Amino acid sequence: MKRLREALARSPFIARVAPFVIFVTLTALQGKLGPNSQYWIYAAKTLVGAFLIWAMWPIVTEMRWALSWEAVAIGVFVFVFWVGLDPYCPKWFKIDGVWNPNLAYGAGSPLAFGFIIFRIIGSSTVVPHMEEVFFRSFLYRYIIKVDFLSVPPNQFDLRSFLITSTLFGIEHGNQWLAGILCGFCYQWLVIRKNRLGDAMTAHAISNLLLGIYVAWKEQWQFW
């Protein structure tokens, strides 16, 4: 751990980019390493992500939770339009199978239940750290200026605002339109509050509500 933190501390760029790259690489491997690997790789990715956050915590100082009424409102708002826009959003590709452990392990089985809980926890705790640090703290400011740490979080730049949010939307595949609008909302929060923590909180609320909705209503296409 000491050596890992020393390596991250040597470069603000690496400290904010490398963990995200590792996380995305593991995401890309889901379903590629044998039957049902989308489930156990997601669980492994969540644990690796939690470890990386622990390693990043003393170094990436802007990665701190913050609570405000704006964060709560945006979190709920994003969940509502994420679900509401789905029937009207053109899909880029056909999905052969959805992330549904009930199909693989049987509805109500301990394994299925465990993977669903793992996904809800991972998406609402680990994902907000990884994505908000990379997109809203690093990439948004890096597009403005290579010396990104010198750019205050509340600086507005239209080009960076549009590029970052568009890339964030593309990352979310068939939910690309909701992803772009979501990027607008979270970046607005960072600019308004001059800190990253409110966007992390909003992101966590959105993902938590979506996870509960997916499991409750069996709307697995969102996963």
Q: Residue 97: pLDDT above 80?
A: no
Please give the pLDDT value at position 9: 87
Percentage of the chain beyond pLDDT 90 is 88
Identity (one letter) of the amino acid at 160?
Answer: S
Nearest alpha-carbon partner for 131 in 101, 166, 171: 171
Instruction: Say if pTM beats, i.e. exceeds, 0.75.
Output: yes
Stated as kind and residue range, the H or E segment containing 205 is helix 197-217
Task: Give CA–CA dist 29/108, Å, rounded.
Answer: 26
Nearest alpha-carbon partner for 74 in 85, 82, 62, 64: 82
Please give the pLDDT value at position 4: 85
Q: What number is the average pLDDT over the span 136-161?
A: 98
Q: What would the pLDDT profile of 11-49 be if each residue is shown by its tens digit?
A: 999 999 999 999 999 999 998 998 899 999 999 999 999
Nearest alpha-carbon partner for 15 in 51, 50, 56, 54: 56
b/e per residue 122-132 (b: at least 16 CB within 10 A): bbbbbbbbbbb
Q: Residue 158: pLDDT above 90?
A: yes
Q: Residue 54: pLDDT above 90?
A: yes
Domain boundaries, given as residue ranges, for the chain: 65-222
Task: Give CA–CA dist 195/65, Å, rounded.
Answer: 9
Q: What number is the average pLDDT over the span 177-190?
A: 98
Task: Give CA–CA dist 162/73, Å, rounded.
Answer: 22
- H runs (alpha helix) in 57-157: 69-85, 101-105, 110-121, 127-131, 140-144
Lowest-pLDDT range of 6-10, 47-51, 118-122, 186-190: 6-10
Q: Residue 95: pLDDT above 80?
A: no
Q: Residue 7: pLDDT above 90?
A: no
Task: Give CA–CA dist 72/130, Å, rounded.
Answer: 19
Please give the pLDDT value at position 127: 98
